[in-house]
Amino acid sequence: MMNESRTLSHVPLWCCGLFIVLGGIAATTAVGEDRSGQPPWKANPPIVTVTKELYKMHAKPREAAQVSMAYVGPRLELRQVHSVESRSDVADNVRARWSSDNGRTWSAFVPIKPSTSHKYGDVPVREHEGCTVFDPAAGVLVQMWLRQVVTGGLWHNFTYSRFSRDQGRTWSNPRQLRYETGDPFDPQTPRKATFLNHNEGYVGSNILVRSDGTLVHCVAHANAPGDVKNNERPWRMGSVLFLGKWNQQEQDYDWSPGARVEILPEHSARGLMEPEVAELRDGRLLVVWRGSTHGWDGTVAKLPGHKFFSISSDGGQTLSPPAVWTYSDGTSFYSPSSYHRMIRHSATGKLYWLGNICPDPPKGNSPRHPLVIAEVDEDRGALRKPTVTAIDDRQPGQGDIQFSNFSLLENRETHALELSLTTYGQEPDANDWATADSYHYTLALVEAAPP
């Protein structure tokens, strides 16, 4: 699949500074240790074998190479997006290409946009793609799309839905996900208060297609009615589940708001961030959020760094109060403020979580290593500690490297899990955080391997 890549699998650990991780990475931890005092990813037998490939190098210093990939049709159709990043969270030179044969061959690149940051008049606004999923019932590719307006140090976020009938080459007009009254966006007055302070929501990390065909998406940084400082915070404390159904007559999706929750800044200083939604075997919905110990307004949470979770037993109409996510034996683990994903594997039938677990209490976003995979205990909606396996970890000589912000899919032919990940912070000098390369990881599940 990787016709730009240079394979580095089976390279010795001491060669080129690159390595293959088989689940046994040394670390120390005060949380979630086994009886030997080792962290789970050091003590456990691995549930995956990992191959790491250098896929795309940065073209010049302080300009990160970004690559993401997703299935965009019912069979082997892939869409891959490339960009570069020299400013935090801003993608430049965004372009895409397509494959109809699972990545064996690719189309020429097509420009998408010069930058995700631009201006309406003198107002800086960021607009970029979010998560996608192919909806087999409607026969379209669905995508969430984010608009951000910054004013007075406050980040106002708005999530839109759009769809494509040609695998992401063209799109319908974005429609805002709304859970309260408020005006639509006006490009002539982008800071209009009747738009800016209503229906806020940052895109979640996935769109779930439930077993009954309903789409579920959870937005972060939504307005929090219980927060007296809601309109003063850089990031808002709420989160809202949305349920989507294809409207045959309108030829578009109807999105209705469901459960709405919020968290105290004493628990997560930047609120409920980057939610991921999964359907458990019994039909319940599990939502897991990224939290943060430190806020952009100087707020410091009283809890150490964790992920937070809620359960819905009624299809997303209500959610349990957000709580610290733990192992299924009740012990806790530390996790930085970082991206994470869940995926159900077609061969094992099991639900897996991929994200960062750290041995010591994190501070804000750091450290984003190691990156691990673990099974989800679907009875408890928690992680199974005996399955925690390291995918990659920091090596001597590297900076505060990040194994985060990855795209994830299950290869529809090999059934391996595949990640595209840019290693921000790989250089020793923190000022060179954007001197970063894109890597491709292939995770073969041990129990899914052929006999």
* 134 & 156 share domain: yes
Q: Name the least confident of 15-19, 35-39, 129-133, 335-339.
A: 15-19
Q: Indicate if 251 and 385 belong to the same structural domain.
A: no
Whether 47 is covered by a domain: the verdict is: yes
Do 250 and 398 share a domain, yes or no?
no
Residue 75 counted as domain residue:
no
Q: What is the pTM of this model?
A: 0.92
Q: Per residue, what are the HEC states of 182-214?
A: CCCCCCCCCCCHHHHCCCCCECCCCCEECCCCC
In a domain, 107, yes or no: no
By residue range, what is the domain housing residue 12? 1-65+82-87+327-451
293 with 334, same domain: the answer is: no
d(CA 346, CA 341) in angstroms, rounded, equals 16
My answer on whether 7 and 152 are in the same domain is no
Band (pLDDT 50/70/90 cuts) for residue 301 is very high
Does 317 lie in the same domain as 332? no
Q: Domain boundary residue among 295, 325, 355?
A: 325
Same domain, 203 and 340: no
- Which of residues 19 and 36 earns the better pLDDT score? 36
Tokens 């992920």, residue?
A: 307
- Is residue 186 located within the same domain as residue 333? no
User: Does 99 map to a domain?
Assistant: no
Give the per-residue SS3 of 409-443: EECCCCCCEEEEEECCCCCCCHHHCCCCCEEEEEE
Confirm whether 200 is domain-assigned: yes
> In 3-state terms, the chain is what percent helix, strand and coil (to 5)?
5, 45, 55
- CATH number of the CATH domain containing 164: 2.120.10.10
Instruction: Report pLDDT digits (tens) over 382-423.
Output: 999 999 999 999 999 999 999 999 999 999 999 999 999 999
- Tokens 């890549």 belong to residue: 5
Output b/e per residue, 11-47; b: 16+ Cβ within 10 A: eeeeeeebbebebebebebebbbeeeebbbbbbbebb
Q: Residue 446 is which amino acid?
A: V
**Angstrom distance (rounded) from CA 101 to CA 330:** 44
In the three-class reduction of DSSP (H, G, I as helix; E, B as strand; rest coil), residue 232 is classed as helix
Measure the CA–CA gap between 11 and 405, rounded to whole angstroms: 25
Instruction: Kindly state whether residues 215 and 158 are assigned to the same domain.
Output: yes
325, 359, 384 - which closes a domain: 325
Burial (CB count <10 Å: 0-12, 13-18, 19+), residue 264: middle
* pLDDT for residue 448: 76
Looking at the domain assignment, is residue 104 inside a domain?
no
- Claim to verify: residue 344 and residue 284 sit in the same structural domain: no
Q: What is the pLDDT of residues 112-132, one digit of tens each?
A: 999 999 999 999 999 999 999
Which of 358, 406, 416 shows the shortest CA–CA distance to 55? 406
433 belongs to a structural domain = yes
Cα separations (Å) of 416 from 116, 217, 450? Answer: 32, 25, 12
CB atoms within 10 A of CB 329: 13
- Tally Cβ neighbours within 10 Å of residue 396: 5
337 and 348 in a single domain? The answer is yes
Q: Do 256 and 377 share a domain, yes or no? A: no
- For the chain, what is the domain count? 2
Residue where a domain stops, chosen among 269, 291, 325? 325
DSSP-derived secondary structure for 332-369:
B-B--S---EEEE-TTT--EEEEEE-BSS--BTTB---
Would 194 be classed as within a structural domain? Answer: yes
